[in-house]
Chains A and B, each alone.
Chain A
Amino acid sequence: MMSGVRVLVGTRKGAFVLTSDERRADWHVDGPHFPGWEMYHLKGSPADPNRLYASQSSGWFGQLIQRSDDGGATWNPVDNRFVYDGAIGTHQTFDGTPKPWNFTRVWHLEPSLTDPDTVYAGVEDAALFRSTDGGENWHELPGLRRHGSGAQWQPGAGGMCLHTIVLDPAEPRRIFVAISAAGAFRTDDGGSTWRAINRGLVSDGIPDPDAEVGHCVHRIAMHPTAPNVLFMQKHWDVMRSDDAGDSWHEISGNLPTDFGFAIDVHAHEPETVYVVPIKSDSEHFPLGGKLQVYRSRSGGNEWEALTNGLPQKDCYVNVLRDAMAVDSLETCGIYFGTTGGQVYASPDAGETWSPIVRDLPAVLSVEVQTLW
Chain B
Amino acid sequence: MIRVALPAHLRALARVSSEVKLDVDGPATQRSVLDALEARFPMLRGTIRDQQTQVRRPYVRFFACARDLSHDIPDAPLPAAIASGAEPLLVVGAMAGG
In the assembled complex, which residues on chain A have CB atoms less than 8 Å from the CB atom of B93?
Answer: 60-61
Instruction: Name which of A37, A63, A64 has the most chain B CB atoms within 10 A of its CB.
Output: A64
Interface size class of A (residues with CB under 8 A): 10 to 19
In the assembled complex, which residues on chain A have CB atoms less than 8 Å from the CB atom of B10?
Answer: 61
Select from chain A the residue with minimum beta-carbon distance to B41.
Answer: A77
B21 CB-CB contact with A under 8 Å: no
The total of Cβ contacts below 8 Å across the A-B interface reads: 44
Select from chain A the residue with minimum beta-carbon distance to B42.
Answer: A77
Contact A60 B97 (CB under 8 A): yes
A328 CB-CB contact with B under 8 Å: no
Quote the shortest CB–CB distance from B31 to chain A (angstroms).
18
Contacting A59 at CB < 8 Å: which of B43, B52, B59? B59
In the assembled complex, which residues on chain B have CB atoms less than 8 Å from the CB atom of A60?
Answer: 7, 9, 57, 59-60, 93-94, 96-97
Contact A81 B97 (CB under 8 A): no
Contact indicator per residue, chain B 48-84, by CB within 8 Å of chain A (1) or not (0): 1011100001011000000000000000000000000
In the assembled complex, which residues on chain A have CB atoms less than 8 Å from the CB atom of B59?
Answer: 59-60
Contact B9 A63 (CB under 8 A): no
Quote the shortest CB–CB distance from A28 to chain B (angstroms).
23
| CA distance in complex: A81, B45 (Å) | 9
Interface residues of A in 63-94 (CB under 8 A from B): 63-64, 77, 80-81, 83
Contact B13 A81 (CB under 8 A): no
Interface residues of B in 6-41 (CB under 8 A from A): 7-10, 12-13
Q: Given A36-B9, A37-B9, decide whether A61 and B57 contact each other with a Cβ distance below 8 A.
A: yes
Q: Given A59-B97, A83-B52, decide whether A77 and B43 contact each other with a Cβ distance below 8 A.
A: yes
Contact A61 B9 (CB under 8 A): yes
B85 CB-CB contact with A under 8 Å: no
Contact indicator per residue, chain A 132-166, by CB within 8 Å of chain B (1) or not (0): 00000000000000000000000000000000000
Contact A81 B9 (CB under 8 A): no
Quote the shortest CB–CB distance from B38 to chain A (angstroms).
12
Contact B45 A61 (CB under 8 A): no
Q: Given A59-B59, A62-B57, decide whether A81 and B47 contact each other with a Cβ distance below 8 A.
A: no
Quote the shortest CB–CB distance from A230 to chain B (angstroms).
35
In the assembled complex, which residues on chain B have CB atoms less than 8 Å from the CB atom of A59?
Answer: 59, 96-97
Instruction: Name which of A35, A36, A58 has the most chain B CB atoms within 10 A of its CB.
Output: A58
| CA distance in complex: A184, B96 (Å) | 35
Select from chain A the residue with minimum beta-carbon distance to B10.
Answer: A61
Q: Given A81-B51, A83-B52, decide whether A58 and B45 contact each other with a Cβ distance below 8 A.
A: no
In the assembled complex, which residues on chain B have CB atoms less than 8 Å from the CB atom of A83?
Answer: 51-52
Given contact pairs A61-B60, A81-B51, a sample of 7 additional A-B residue pairs in the complex whose CB atoms are under 8 Å apart: A36-B9, A60-B9, A61-B47, A62-B57, A64-B13, A64-B47, A77-B43
Q: Please list the residues of chain A having a beta carbon within 8 angstroms of any beta carbon in chain B.
A: 35-37, 58-64, 77, 80-81, 83
Q: Please list the residues of chain B having a beta carbon within 8 angstroms of any beta carbon in chain A.
A: 7-10, 12-13, 43, 45-48, 50-52, 57, 59-60, 93-94, 96-97
